[in-house]
Structure 1
Amino acid sequence: MLTASYNQDIGTVRDVKIRRLRSVEPQSLPQVNAISGIGLEGDMHADPLSPRQVLLASTSAYESFDLNPNSLRENLLLDADVSRLKSGGVLCIGSSVALWLMFQCEACGHLNVQKADLSKVIGNQRGMLSRVLRGGEIRPGDRVRYFELLMPSWSLDWRDRIRMILSSMPSGQVVEYKQLARIAGVPSGYCRVFPRVLKEMGTGYSSKAVSVRSQSTRPRWLGSELFNVSTNFIDGVSEIRSTPHHVTPHLENKMQKEDNTYAQVKHQMTKSLSDSGRTEDALNFGAVNVLLTKGRSLKNDTAQNFNPKPYPEVSDALPSDYDSWLS
């Protein structure tokens, strides 16, 4: 469902890659084919029931940490600040492709092979995971537009994702641990800690997930409903003109000059919408990216910058291939 009209041209695709096997490095290609609901054709992470189909990374991350090519093992390298993208947003790439932004990628131990202690310092510059909403070809040079909050958002915390998934299950069914890990986007090694974590959540959750050896006769749920979202709105979204860059400085200066707070600007927007003949003013205010993504520019705005939590620790021992699974 379309819940926000804010959009901005944020940059271009610099490189496109697929990784066919875990044992090989990502391969740069002149173009890749994104398949709706699946991922990138030929890529090992293409999976209709995974939130981790496509990994996005920023050129700025490579520059900031002086990384070698392929260090982040991304599929799409963008000359845009991926760390500022929010779950639930949509990226429209080129003339046809649309990606559903899921959650920030975890900083796994693989990064430390590329550079000592990189996983401890990279923070939210690791990259953003996404799903393919609408397919098509992606090439270097394609323009990228960002639409905020068009789709359901997914938490960065895997426990919250587990809770959300189990809350979405049809009554009378159960999900096996391995399938739960798959649709939550965590390694299968987490199945070992699911019993304890689900028990802490309460019986309303623990009774919905079972091991593969369970003798429960209840139907097994696969979770496809979580990703069966309507994409009809995307055709309309793709026709929305990107926010004119000249609008932002003008209105930002106006806000600072008048010492406006976020609440005051919100009031101005509301008043503009309610006053006959002032629709254009309201739309201009709504298009200002300093209001929606750079709120620190507004005086007296105390909202905190986005700062994802580190990937949660798991007490039980994980399999030896844990880090390679994440990367």
Structure 2
Amino acid sequence: MQATATIQRLYLKRARGEAGVASTVVHCTAGVGIDGDVHANRLSPRQVLVTLTSELDSLGIAPGALMENIVIACDRPALFRPGAALVGASGVEIRLTMFCEPCRRIAHLAPRLSGLLHRRGVLGVVVAGGALRVGESIALVADRYPALPESPYQKFLDFLPTVPCGRVVRYADVAIAMGVADSFVRALPGYIRRSAGGDLPLHRIVNARGGLLDIVPDQAKKLQAEGVAILGNSASLQKYAWQGPDQAALLADSGRPQ
């Protein structure tokens, strides 16, 4: 199923927790997000936030107040959900990944945050880059991708196998890739213990400085077998840290022709 949408507003967010600056055009980079936006990150499933004009009108909230990047008007709003894609005439494609949960930064906009559940907008990642312009017509393609799981633990299980052999990620990187708050790093040691004994490449997780983890058995041995040099019980982040998939890998994963 497909719907027609029109871009009503565009915003570029320079800092976390702040509303974006209105723009008539934004440029998107595949696998990264909107150029110059604070949430542009190869690891993140939260590169872009898209909101419906109809929801803003219904809630009585001004465009931009929800800290969104893109506001669209759509003739079939029921199709606007995780798993859908926004596809522009120029080839830009945004995969919608998950609903954006209400948070304390927008608590002043509603008597209760629960009233904004599934109404703040849908987050997404840029699959194919290019320019988006206010007034541009775009297609909303339903169910083009699988929606990301809502369970944080399942997101953890899904992400770890994507880390390439011979590379490492920090706790903070894992939280970013899961699309959870930075404070969630405190839960990750519990997830690691819970997942021990399986096939998950837990040995590719290191601390903020590249240090190995006491809770991962034989971590040094497993990393060395993958070609990672261990010096002083640490792996060089400069050499081995993984920053997310490149454009070719992203296109292959999405099923789009390369």
TM band (smaller chain)? 0.7 to 0.9
The aligned runs of 1:1-327 (5 Å cut-off) are 7-22=1-16, 24-80=18-74, 84-117=79-112, 119-170=113-164, 174-204=168-198, 205=200, 207-208=202-203, 209-212=205-208, 214-215=211-212, 216-217=219-220, 218=223, 219=228, 222=242, 224-225=244-245, 228-230=249-251
Hey, what's the Cα distance between the residues in 2 that align with 1:206 and 1:85?
A: 34
TM-fit CA distance, 1:104? 1.2
TM-fit CA distance, 1:177? 1.1
Q: Give per-residue Cα distances to partners, 1:17-63, cap 9 Å, x unaligned.
A: 11112364311111111122221122111112211111100112112
Cα 1:222/1:56, change in 2 over 3 Å: same
Hey, what's the Cα distance between the residues in 1 that align with 2:16 and 2:167?
A: 34
- Asked if the contact 1:20/1:42 (under 8 Å) is kept, the reply is yes
CA RMSD of aligned residues (A): 2.9
Hey, what's the Cα distance between the residues in 2 that align with 1:99 and 1:234?
A: 12
TM-fit CA distance, 1:164? 0.7
TM-fit CA distance, 1:93? 2.1
TM-fit CA distance, 1:76? 0.5
TM-fit CA distance, 1:147? 2.4
- Asked if the contact 2:160/2:201 (under 8 Å) is kept, the reply is no
SS in 2 for 1:194: helix
Please list every run of 5 or more consecutive structure 1 residues that lacks an aligned counterpart in the other structure: 1-6, 237-327
Hey, what's the Cα distance between the residues in 2 that align with 1:202 and 1:234?
A: 35
SS in 2 for 1:230: helix
Which AA in structure 2 matches 1:190?
F
Answer 1 or 2: which has greater helix percent: 1
Which AA in structure 2 matches 1:15?
R
Cα 1:23/1:148, change in 2 over 3 Å: closer
TM-fit CA distance, 1:167? 3.6
Answer 1 or 2: which has greater strand percent: 2
TM-fit CA distance, 1:191? 0.8
Query: Which is higher, the Rg of structure 1 or of structure 2?
Result: 1
Cα 1:233/1:191, change in 2 over 3 Å: closer
Seq. identity, %: 24
Hey, what's the Cα distance between the residues in 1 that align with 2:164 and 2:102?
A: 33
- Asked if the contact 2:17/2:105 (under 8 Å) is kept, the reply is no
Hey, what's the Cα distance between the residues in 2 that align with 1:181 and 1:221?
A: 15
Hey, what's the Cα distance between the residues in 2 that align with 1:207 and 1:101?
A: 28
- Asked if the contact 2:42/2:243 (under 8 Å) is kept, the reply is no
Cα 1:206/1:52, change in 2 over 3 Å: same
Hey, what's the Cα distance between the residues in 2 that align with 1:201 and 1:109?
A: 32
